[in-house]
Amino acid sequence: MSSSQQKLGFLASPAPEAQSAFEELTAIYGNAPLSEADVIVALGGDGFMLQTLHQTINSGKRLYGMNCGSVGFLMNDYRIDSLYERIDKAVENDFHPLQMKTRNADGTTSIALAINEVYVFRQSYQAAKIRVTIDGHVRLDELICDGLMIATPAGSTAYNLSAHGPILPLEAPLLAMTPVSAFRPRRWRGALLPNKVCVELDILEPEKRPVNAVADNTEVKSVLHVTIQQSRHRTAQILSDPDHSWSERILAEQFSD
């Protein structure tokens, strides 16, 4: 199907800039119902892009974002002209999200997906105590820290980078395990893991040191046990301009100030 024959469906964040872009673009290109669209065009910032990605996982819809927000690392530049041609030339990136399963202090269980990262963090003034198990093998008997995250390559330039974790090339079959303010082991700075591993986190002394868990924007209170692994049967499809691809952005980020 040529790009000019593709049906475009538009979504916009509530931000005034995104709403204005929505009006401009739909007046030119129309606005197919999302169920009929070949490509969904998301207008907003990175937060809105993540929200839209979660909505379109396993839908078979390709997602093309344009930045109408503040950061826009996940987005292409906003331009009105030649949208069909840009989509036709765009590079397709397929991502398998992380799945977080939690067992909680109130007896419930929870499941959530993450495009960027899963992390646990202390709920009170007390540091968290966490046992870290990877593929059934205990790697850290007791990690004392403010928090711990597992980041995908797509999320490695987000919270992971702020916590001094490594930037991962988009094509790398890796996950970054990065502590936040690790106290013991004092010199442990994290690890690189194959993306097929199963990570289990046991929260130690949970009554004294309660911990919450987050998968992207889904937070679960007072968790006792967290399992994290890649969900291979779920896929999100994202389009990026070839001169502004995710791979190029991640590479460039490693040489920025």
Residues annotated as catalytic are: 46
Residue 161 known to bind ligand = yes
Residue 98 known to bind ligand = no
Residue 18 known to bind ligand = no
Residue 159 known to bind ligand = yes
Give CA–CA dist 91/208, Å, rounded. Answer: 49
Residue 212 known to bind ligand = no
- Nearest C-alpha neighbor of 253 from the set 182, 156, 108, 186: 156
Give CA–CA dist 29/52, Å, rounded. Answer: 20
Residue 227 known to bind ligand = no
Residue 158 known to bind ligand = yes
Residue 172 known to bind ligand = no
Residues at the binding site are: 46-47, 116-117, 146, 154, 157-162
Residues at the binding site for NAD(+) are: 46-47, 116-117, 146, 154, 157-162
